[in-house]
């Protein structure tokens, strides 16, 4: 129950973004069933959105899979970060929690864990309600695509950034975290800026490179862990 | 676009997204990690969120915007302030979206 309550903002945040995916996917030729199946099984936010232009560019399954995997490489980091807390759970339960792992569920569970409250069940609750929001949103978007008009009228495109901002503040709980977040912001902006001087880095890698780079620099800078 | 192609994409994406999440959990939760790696992992949440915020606020849709004359930066600031004061994810997200719509109407 506590997990469902914790996940409520994710549910509400996912609905409009899921709806945006439903609208865009059906516009591209997905049936309502296909759009919902994609959201229900991939549960991948940015990973799903990135697939759409790649699909439009040509019918290559491999290119789509490469794009979604690269965009979601950060889940490798999330999985590794959260896995010490999942010791003692059986493999099927770990698989279930892995399936529900997203930026938002990860951040909420880690935040909850640091407060000493999170359990396997609360993580499961956060996952379930987020999943419902994402799939329900996709269904509504796909079904209503013809008459909903322009979804951006409702500020839909800011739902995800707003969630990221709140989660960033929640997770940057001590001085070291603030520094590492600032480093990540700087690197994430420097990478695309590098194209101005002729160095072209594929944009799909920006998030992963900035995250790994900032965490690595911080690890070298701070040999001791600071408590929250 | 063929039905078969779309279903292949749907199934392939399901597998790809599950494996990228599950493999690290299955491996790392079964071995004891050395201190520096644990420390590195403890920095990951803040660094990923920082990178995501930078991308979403300064380069929404993948191209640079002017942060002063665009609603993104100001709405992000508003969202951050609301979260800071209220500690409510829901309140901050809704305030951010409302603020974004209002700012967009105002800034054009």
Domain boundaries, chain A: 2-155, 172-228
Domain ranges of chain B: 46-107
Q: Which of B25, B43, B80 sits opposite A165 (nearest CB)?
A: B80
Residue A226 has a pLDDT of 64
Task: State how far the Cα of A73 lies from the Cα of A219, in Å rounded to an integer.
Answer: 20
What digits encode the pLDDT tens for the residues B9-60? 999 999 999 998 998 888 888 777 788 888 888 888 888 889 889 988 998 8
Please state the pTM of the whole predicted model. Answer: 0.76
Residue contacts between A and B (CB atoms, under 8 Å) = 300
Q: Could you tell me where the DSSP H helices lie in chain A? A: 2-28, 32-42, 46-57, 61-71, 74-82, 91-99, 103-114, 120-148, 159-171, 175-193, 206-221
Q: Does B60 touch chain A (CB under 8 A)?
A: yes
Residue A145 has a pLDDT of 75
What digits encode the pLDDT tens for the residues A3-13? 888 888 888 88
- Give every CB contact of residue B2 below 8 A, 6+ residues apart in sequence: A59
From the candidates B4, B40, B50, B107, which should be mutated to test the interface with A, based on the most A CB atoms within 10 A?
B50
Q: Which residues of chain A have pLDDT under 50?
A: none
Q: Which of A38, A94, A163 sits opposite B13 (nearest CB)?
A: A38
User: Rounded to whole angstroms, what are the CA distances from A30 to A48, A138, A174, A194?
Assistant: 13, 12, 45, 37
Residue A151 has a pLDDT of 61
User: Rounded to whole angstroms, what are the CA distances from A116 to A109, A122, B22, B28?
Assistant: 10, 12, 24, 21
Residue A204 has a pLDDT of 64
Answer yes or no: are the C-beta atoms of A169 and B82 closer than 8 Å: no
Chain A segment 141-180 residues within 8 A of B by beta carbon are: 153-172, 176-178, 180
H/E element, B76: helix B71-86
Residue A149 has a pLDDT of 63
* Neighbour count for residue A112 (Cβ, 10 Å): 19
**For B63, which DSSP code?**
S
H/E element, B96: helix B89-107
Give the CA-trace dihedral at A98, A130, A4, B39, to 10 degrees. Answer: 40
Task: State how far the Cα of A78 lies from the Cα of B24, in Å rounded to an integer.
Answer: 9
Q: Which of B2, B45, B83 sits opposite A166 (nearest CB)?
A: B83
* Neighbour count for residue A205 (Cβ, 10 Å): 14
Task: State how far the Cα of A215 lies from the Cα of A221, in Å rounded to an integer.
Answer: 10
Ramachandran class of B88: left when φ > 0, alpha when ψ lies in -120 to 50, beta otherwise: beta
Angle at A152 between CA A148 and CA A157, to 5 degrees: 130
Query: How close does chain B come to A74, measured CA to CA in Å?
Result: 8
Task: State how far the Cα of A174 lies from the Cα of A11, in Å rounded to an integer.
Answer: 28
Q: Average of pLDDT values for B67-77? A: 91
**3-class state of residue A18 by DSSP:** helix
């Amino acid at each position: 129950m506590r997990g469902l309550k914790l996940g409520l903002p994710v549910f509400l945040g996912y609905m409009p973004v899921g709806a945006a995916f439903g609208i865009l996917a059906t516009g591209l030729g997905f049936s309502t069933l296909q759009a919902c199946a994609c959201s229900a099984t991939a549960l991948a936010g940015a990973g799903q959105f990135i697939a759409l232009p790649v699909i439009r560019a040509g019918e290559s399954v491999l290119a789509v899979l490469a794009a979604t995997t690269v965009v979601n490489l950060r889940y490798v980091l999330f999985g590794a970060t959260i896995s010490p807390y999942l010791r003692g759970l059986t493999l099927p339960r770990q698989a279930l929690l892995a399936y529900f792992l997203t930026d938002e569920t990860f951040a909420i569970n880690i935040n909850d864990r640091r407060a000493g409250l999170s359990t396997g069940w609360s993580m499961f609750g956060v996952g379930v309600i987020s999943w419902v929001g994402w799939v329900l949103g996709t269904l509504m978007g796909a079904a209503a695509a013809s008459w909903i008009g322009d979804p951006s009228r409702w500020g839909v495109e800011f739902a995800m950034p707003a969630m990221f901002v709140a989660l960033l503040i929640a997770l940057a709980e001590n001085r070291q975290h603030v520094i590492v977040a600032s480093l990540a912001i700087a690197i994430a902006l420097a990478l695309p800026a590098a194209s101005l001087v002729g160095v072209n880095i594929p944009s799909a890698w920006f998030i992963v490179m900035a995250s790994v780079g900032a965490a690595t620099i911080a690890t070298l800078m701070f040999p001791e862990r600071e408590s929250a | 676009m063929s039905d078969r192609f779309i279903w292949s994409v749907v199934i392939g994406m399901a597998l790809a997204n599950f494996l990228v999440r599950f493999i690290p959990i299955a491996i790392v939760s079964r071995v004891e990690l050395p201190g520096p790696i644990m420390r590195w992992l403890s920095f990951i949440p803040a660094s990923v969120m920082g990178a995501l915020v930078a991308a979403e606020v300064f380069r929404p849709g993948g191209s640079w915007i002017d942060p002063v004359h665009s609603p993104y930066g100001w709405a992000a600031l508003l969202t951050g302030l609301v979260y800071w004061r209220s500690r409510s994810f829901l309140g901050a997200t809704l305030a951010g979206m409302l603020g974004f719509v209002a700012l967009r109407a105002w800034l054009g």
